[in-house]
Amino acid sequence: MSNYHIKHLEEYYQIYRKSIREPENFWEEVAEEHFLWRKKWDKVLSWDFAKPEIKWFEGAKLNITENCIDRHLVTRGEKTAILFEPNNPDEPAQHITYQQLFERVNKMANVLKSQGIKKGDRVCIYVPMIPELAIAILACARIGAIHSVVFAGFSATALLTRINDSDCKMVITSDGSYRGAKTIDLKGIVDEALESCPGIEKVLVVKRTGGNITMKEGRDMWLQPLLDEASKQCPAEIMDAEDPLFILYTSGSTGQPKGMVHTTAGYMVYTAYSFKNAFQYRENDVYWCTADIGWITGHSYIIYGPLANGATTVLFEGVPSYPDFGRFWEIIDKHKVNQFYTAPTAIRALAKQGSEMVEKFDLSSIKVLGSVGEPINEEAWHWYNDNVGKKKSPIIDTWWQTETGAIMITPIPFVTPTKPTYATLPFIGVQPAIVNEAGEELKGNQVEGRLCIKFPWPSMARTIWRNHKRYKETYFSTYKNMYFTGDGALRDEVGYYRITGRVDDVIIVSGHNLGTAPIEDAINEHPAVAESAIVGFPHDIKGTALYAFVTLKDAGESRIHENLRKEINQLITERIGPIAKLDKIQFTAGLPKTRSGKIMRRILRKIAEKDTSNLGDISTLLNPECVKEIMDEAL
């Protein structure tokens, strides 16, 4: 029986029903047939959402890199595993075969071991989108070290918070990084962060830009000479199914980011299975996901999912606008990309350039288009469909989260009829529920509420690093016996899901998940600021942009507001990174508060959205008078 490649809608429903009725049998078959195990499991699933505790394939032993690399060597040794496209189009692309990847990962793994890294140690990887990033990740997995990748666009403060939260022993970084016309001094950022990271013993530095950097004696080492010395054989560490594979941080509603912990076997099985089906990947296809590996999308759908299937996965160092806005289309043409996966914010930015840029290139290789990160608006969907897919390539609008590890709701291309702005149907094995505020499940179609998942799936995060209590509170305490996603959703008359957006204090800007709290904390650090509140407002390219309402300690603050605005954004850049910069900052005498002192973001959101016709009852506020002033002076 091959459940592995879904071919038509009837088959989807048939497999879906089986995966729901007999989840253990279903996933056991997938796991048996398509992966390499050192030892099979004793039990497929045990779970308790009240604790919460979830275990898949308990008792099994494996190494994910043997599944992503070693087992392909016989049949795919000379096949390109990673196709690296550099930032600069004049620099040649690199085709790294599975055989070469095997050797490079092993060498790297041996370097890690020689520098004292052991199974279970945490290694922070702060490397731009170059092959060494993928190699470092896989090398950690090879020896059972837990990788914690931090997006190389994050600031020193964001980096050090993450390093310290998971007690990393080592940082892997590069001298610098290229992003379009810019060169970024990555090592300088690491040096600044490490002033406050006492646990870091070693820093390995990849040479990329050749920039001027300082190396700290005894701590910092160039990677290449160590690799040159290392053996290309490194036996894989045999891991338990539930051993942590990696930690990846995501924003939450407090300042402290949440270190989501993903484990080995379930994550592997589900990402591989979903990759194959959601993208309808076939042998010899060239697949490209434009996300950064610093996000979950890159972990699951640049590295683990594709490599577990022996796929060719493109790794692009640059940005869509360099050297011009034709770059994505040029790369698709150059490498004959078959599956292309990107974010609505990129689609909107590219659509703004008109279709001429697209028409210069031959995109006939494209079979499937994907979208991820935020709801894709109708206009962007049609532009993507008409100009990139030429109306013949299905768009899969894939809904999922860092926490879910892999795609949860998506059309299956050529199988599920698509509908703009709808993520459509649950993926195999996924049991969504829409609940009302009282926590009652709304059964049947044409309902709207909050999106929950009522049964475990193999790639779900198992905990928050050293904070299981927060894991339970955030995801399993709002509604009994269900995982709460934080998103709102509706189910239409045929059972298709549409994600309506976050219902908590997280704002998605250009597809980046930003918590309001850390940004407000950064603003409040400014000595002139008394208090602040952040909300989102609609933005052409970013989807949602940030609007801050700020009160000052000294209402008669003499400095002009423009300077203050710059200083506040500077602080945000330092504390979080440029992605969290504010588009609008309104200074106001007061913020609307409830009698218990909670800021009423709902009102501020309406004002920011310029939709003040129905503000609701504001008479119960502690300070209703401030609302009119805020409305009159809204930006």
Cβ distance to ligand WT7 smaller for residue 165 or 487: 487
520 binds ligand WT7 (CB under 6 A): no
138 binds ligand WT7 (CB under 6 A): no
502 binds ligand WT7 (CB under 6 A): yes
> Is the CB of residue 375 less than 8 Å from the CB of residue 499?
yes
> Is the CB of residue 352 less than 8 Å from the CB of residue 346?
no
Shortest separation between residue 486's beta carbon and ligand WT7, angstroms = 6
Residues in the chain: 635
Buried b (16+ CB within 10 A) or exposed e, 570-606: ebbbbbbbebbbbbbbbbbebbbbeeeeebbbebbbb
Shortest separation between residue 391's beta carbon and ligand WT7, angstroms = 21
Shortest separation between residue 313's beta carbon and ligand WT7, angstroms = 16
Q: Which two tokens stand for residue 203?
A: 């820093």
79 binds ligand WT7 (CB under 6 A): no
Q: Position 580: which residue type?
A: A
Interacting span for ligand WT7 (CB under 6 A) from 86-94, 223-231, 360-368, 369-377 = 369-377
Number of residues that bind ligand WT7 (CB under 6 A): 22
Q: 10 Å Cβ neighbour count for 535? A: 23
Cβ distance to ligand WT7 smaller for residue 213 or 415: 415
> Is the CB of residue 175 less than 8 Å from the CB of residue 206?
yes
Cβ distance to ligand WT7 smaller for residue 461 or 585: 461
Contacts with ligand WT7, 271-310, as mask; x by CB under 6 A = ------------------------xxx-------------
373 binds ligand WT7 (CB under 6 A): yes
427 binds ligand WT7 (CB under 6 A): no
Neighbour-count burial of 401, counting CB atoms closer than 10 A to its CB (0-12 exposed, 13-18 middle, 19+ buried): middle
- List, in order, residues 6 or more apart from 502 with CB less than 8 Å away: 486, 487, 488, 508
220 binds ligand WT7 (CB under 6 A): no
372 binds ligand WT7 (CB under 6 A): yes
Cβ distance to ligand WT7 smaller for residue 23 or 515: 515
CA angle 128, 260, 267 (to 5 degrees): 85
Cβ distance to ligand WT7 smaller for residue 153 or 375: 375
> Is the CB of residue 397 less than 8 Å from the CB of residue 421?
yes
Interacting span for ligand WT7 (CB under 6 A) from 179-187, 358-366, 464-472, 482-490 = 482-490
What is the rounded distance in angstroms from the CA atom of residue 593 to the CA atom of residue 590? 9
Interacting span for ligand WT7 (CB under 6 A) from 36-44, 361-369, 480-488, 570-578 = 480-488
423 binds ligand WT7 (CB under 6 A): yes
Out of 385, 485, 510, 532, the only residue in the binding site for ligand WT7 (CB under 6 A) is 485
374 binds ligand WT7 (CB under 6 A): yes
Q: Position 344: which residue type?
A: P
Interacting span for ligand WT7 (CB under 6 A) from 167-175, 316-324, 395-403, 590-598 = 395-403
| CA neighbor of 379 nearest in space, from 487, 538, 512 | 538
Phi-psi region of 314 (alpha: psi -120 to 50; beta: other; left: phi over 0): beta
> Is the CB of residue 128 less than 8 Å from the CB of residue 177?
yes
Please tell me whether residue 627 adopts helix, strand or coil conformation. helix
Out of 250, 271, 274, 418, the only residue in the binding site for ligand WT7 (CB under 6 A) is 250
Shortest separation between residue 180's beta carbon and ligand WT7, angstroms = 22
**Can the peptide bond before residue 323 be classed as cis, meaning omega within 30 degrees of 0?**
yes
Out of 155, 402, 463, 544, the only residue in the binding site for ligand WT7 (CB under 6 A) is 402
416 binds ligand WT7 (CB under 6 A): no
Out of 433, 499, 548, 568, the only residue in the binding site for ligand WT7 (CB under 6 A) is 499
Q: Which two tokens stand for residue 22?
A: 């007999």
Q: 10 Å Cβ neighbour count for 24? A: 12
What is the binding site for ligand WT7 (CB under 6 A)?
Answer: 250, 295-297, 372-375, 397-402, 423, 485-487, 499, 502, 508, 513
